[in-house]
Amino acid sequence: MKSMIHIFTGFFVAVNLLHAQDPKLVDETFLSALRTEAARNHPAARSAELRSAAAASDVQGVRLWDDPTVGLSLSIARESMRADDGDIFLSYEQPIPKAGMFAANLSKAEAMRRAELESSRMSSLEVSAAAAKDAIELALADESISLQSAQLQWLGSMTENAREMALNPDATSVDALRLESELARENEILAAARRTRESLAQSLNLRLGRSLENSWPILTLNRDPAPVPIAASEIARIQRANPKVRSMREMAVAANGDTRIAEIEKKPQFSIAVDSALYSGGDARALNVGLKMSLPYFNRTSYDAKIQASQLREKAAVKDVETIRLEIASEVLAAVNEVANAAAQAHAYSGEIYQRADAATRSVEASWISSKSPLTDLLESNRMLFSIKLEQRRFVALQLAALENLNLLVPRK
């Protein structure tokens, strides 16, 4: 009996020391700081940033002029012929840019850069949302520990009452023994909750690139749920806010650039050519300047097929934009519905449901102390009240997590 009291006392002191810290409210300011830290340190976000930087370098790599071609050849003819015609021949050829080709390549590269930028933004949002949801789950664990600590305190008080009641010659010690058993069971549940809390804290540290041993203060959730967004307004923001849609739009622009490039490639390629003949034993023999032109007409069918393929890919890219928009709109509807349901449940569990359960528990407790109600009624009533409190906290956390999912689909910034 004494060992049970010592265990309870020591554990409750430890819980009180833990909760003596000032709790940290998990509000938008707190979550925003975590999102920023995760986006700055997570390797997935850094990898996406590097790909975006590579795409920016690709833009710088677009060139107007193709490389020139130079040639050198030597004659092995008779000396008289070499003296007349020259025995050293030099050539230089410079392709002339096709009209519109540079602009088309630049437009495609710019579109790919913007697409990679949106992909990088999406990666940052994903790791940021994951970190925020870990913090919300950690706060829910702290809320659960707080409620379970209060449950232990209540069981301790009821155990003392039962012991005093057992001193009555007409009473038995059954209720005291039963309550001590409940106290030991709740003690183990609380210990497991604290271990879970430690695991969640380590997971959050990993997300943020911190040391696993980094400690977190006690986190707490808002008492009431946040306002519910309007689904129609969120869906209207998809086109301009969702990184996937914006990236797909840029891919459609890049596909248009491919079509323009294919059409320009069908045109003849002109080059300026300069040829000279020199004699090793004397001076120059000839200098020729000319204009060369490629003949793409023999491969017209091939060029036409490439143009058609590019046009089809461009049309498919446009349809892909609409497809992804519809998919995200469906996800937005589901997220808003989840936010609304969680808010409604949180309000319900903190209102009339809680008030009635609290009144019932107080009534049964008073009745049990006066020996008018069995202990089973008292325990059942208290478990119901505890469950309602925990559910209310859980629904507040669920709503915050659903809002993170919604922000991932239609970011606010």
- DSSP notation for 143-193: HHHHHHHHHHHHHHHHHHHHHHHHTSTT--SHHHHHHHHHHHHHHHHHHHH
For the chain, the domain total comes to 1
Residue with tokens 């009555």: 168
The CA distance from 246 to 319, in Å, is 13
Closest CA to 307 of 269, 263, 267: 263
Helical residues (DSSP H) of 42-100, grouped into ranges: 43-60, 79-85
Q: Is the pLDDT reported for residue 6 higher than 60? A: no
Q: Which two tokens stand for residue 46?
A: 């850094």
| Count of C-beta atoms within a 10 Å radius of residue 134 | 22
The least confident of 4-13, 42-51, 399-408 is: 4-13
Question: 39-51: per-residue pLDDT in tens?
Answer: 998 888 889 889 9
Paired tokens of 385: 């009240």
Torsional sign, CA 185, 186, 187, 192: positive
Q: Are 98 and 10 in contact (CB under 8 A)?
A: no
**Amino acid code (one letter) for 47:** S
Domain of residue 363, residue span: 2-409
pTM for this one?
0.81
Evaluate if residue 344 carries a pLDDT over 50.
yes
Specify whether the CB–CB gap between 369 and 161 falls below 8 A.
Answer: yes
**Residue 220, SS3?**
strand
pLDDT for residue 210 = 92
Q: How far apart are CA 303 and CA 351, in angstroms?
A: 72
Q: Output DSSP code: residue 76.
A: -
pLDDT of residue 159: 87
Beta bridge partners of 286: 277
Are the C-beta atoms of 110 and 289 separated by less than 8 Å? no
Nearest CA among 138, 154, 151 for reference residue 194: 138
Alpha-carbon span 410 to 95, nearest angstrom: 48
CA angle 391-394-398, nearest 5°? 135
pLDDT at 14 over 60: no
Residue 169: its pLDDT value, please? 65
Element (H, E) at 22: none
**pLDDT tens digit string along 95-149?**
999 999 999 999 999 999 999 999 999 999 999 999 999 999 999 999 999 999 9
Looking at residue 66, its amino acid is D
State phi, psi for 362 to the nearest 5 degrees: -60, -40
The CATH number for 147's domain is: 1.20.1600.10
Q: What band does 373 get if pLDDT is binned at 50, 70 and 90?
A: confident
Tokens (6 digits) for 353:
């449901």
**Rounded CA gap, 170 and 152, in Å?**
28
